[in-house]
Amino acid sequence: MCKRYTELLYLSLPIFLWPLVFVVLREVFITAMLLATLLLGTLTLLFYREKVHRNLRPTWKSALAGLILSFPLYGIFVFGKIFLTALNLQHTVSNVYASIYLSSDATLLPFLLAIIGSMEELYWRGGQLAVLEERLMRIHAYILSIAYYTLVHIWTLNISLLLGALTIGIYMVITAKKLGLTASVICHVAWLIETIVLFPLGP
């Protein structure tokens, strides 16, 4: 019974953390996201290290595959911006970038993004998905994980963020299950740096 309550608390944390980060603490978004993801990642390593390790696959091939897969993912977001611009919703993309750039130091940003991306993967595609897979049929666990990752962003009322989260959720679940958590961590981190630092899709 205690284990079940612990898992429920662990799984429910983003419900409380994401509105806090994206709405209440928006002016210090990067710092808030860093602390939130560090909390989730640390709890994952403390309580679900074995589950994470089983799907880690820390090889250079997995790391290289993750890096390569970040580029088509970036391409998907390029087309996504074109689609949103056609619908006159490009301001929703600009709002996301404004929250990031106004709340962080440009010099530290790549380093902070690397931590955030890594910790997100440890939680969402590492510990959280492993817990769901133990409780549900595998395909149902995947669907619930993707839906959860998407819907915790609903507090922002930002269509580009919701569509982006849905895309990332699907892409990273497939990457993590096919190639291992190492690949999804590298892919997520590389994609963040590409879209926010190297080749930004917003102002």
pTM of the model: 0.94
Residue 140 makes CB contacts below 8 A (sequence gap 6+) with: none
pLDDT single digits (tens) 105-125: 889 999 999 999 999 999 999
CA distances from 7 to 12, 58, 200 (A): 8, 26, 37
CA distances from 49 to 14, 44, 98, 136, 180 (A): 19, 6, 35, 20, 15
How far apart are alpha carbons 18 and 4 in whole angstroms? 23
Sign of CA dihedral 107, 153, 163, 76: positive
Residue 158 domain-assigned (yes or no): yes
* Cβ neighbours, 10 Å, residue 197: 13
Indicate if the pLDDT at residue 176 is higher than 80: yes
How far apart are alpha carbons 67 and 82 in whole angstroms? 24
Q: What is the pLDDT at residue 130?
A: 94
Residue 69 domain-assigned (yes or no): yes
Residue 29 domain-assigned (yes or no): no
Residue 92 domain-assigned (yes or no): yes
Q: How many domains does the chain have?
A: 1
Strands (E), the chain: none
Mean pLDDT of 133-141: 93
pLDDT single digits (tens) 186-200: 999 999 999 999 999
Residue 92 makes CB contacts below 8 A (sequence gap 6+) with: 84, 158, 159, 160, 161
pLDDT single digits (tens) 8-28: 999 999 999 999 999 999 999
Mean pLDDT of 173-181: 96
How far apart are alpha carbons 166 and 169 in whole angstroms? 5
How far apart are alpha carbons 28 and 21 in whole angstroms? 8
Residue 17 domain-assigned (yes or no): no
Residue 156 domain-assigned (yes or no): yes
Residue range of the domain that includes 121: 65-100+113-203
Residue 192 domain-assigned (yes or no): yes
Residue 134 domain-assigned (yes or no): yes
Indicate if the pLDDT at residue 126 is higher than 80: yes
